[in-house]
Amino acid sequence: MHSPADRRGPQLVRLKQAQRQLSLLSAQSQQRAAAAHREEAAALRASAELALKRAILQPEAGLSRSLLFDRLRILAVARAHALETGHAANDLEADAIRCEAEEAGQRQRAALQYRKQKKLEHWHRSRNREERRLLESRRHTQQLDEIACRRRSPR
């Protein structure tokens, strides 16, 4: 009377629960990764600003031409480093956005698995209720038939 889908019902429910848990765990790890990327980007930007503040030329009297060019070279290198650091921070920010999008996708997947799990549970509950009702109806009919047969049989 039971189909293979009926027998596999509890197994399918457990599968959907496991898939939901995996999706939620993945979403949490993506959330942590996004936060780490944002923190690293903020730290890079702060270090770049600090490097630029340190590299500002101060007016000094009596600088030789070679010392002036050395200081200008140091300033140019600091600005280039700050620019590269800014690009790296932007890349990390883009990674954080990608991680957040992946997190949202995983959470949607988890919600979908939860809905599927609930549908399966509902279907199996209603199926079991219907089977119990049919079984009870058959028992009742069988009891009525037995009662009717007993009355007809002569003793």
- Structural domains in the chain (count): 1
Instruction: List the structure tokens of 121.
Output: 């549970």
In a domain, residue 144? The reply is: no
- What are the pLDDT digits (tens) for 123-153? 889 988 999 999 999 999 998 888 878 766 5
C-alpha 131/C-alpha 120 separation (Å) is 16
Residue 119 belongs to some domain of the structure: no
pLDDT tens track for 52-62: 888 777 777 77
The residue ranges of the chain whose pLDDT is under 50 are 1
Residues of the domain holding 59: 10-114
**Distance, first Cα to last Cα, the chain:** 39
Inside any domain, residue 143: no
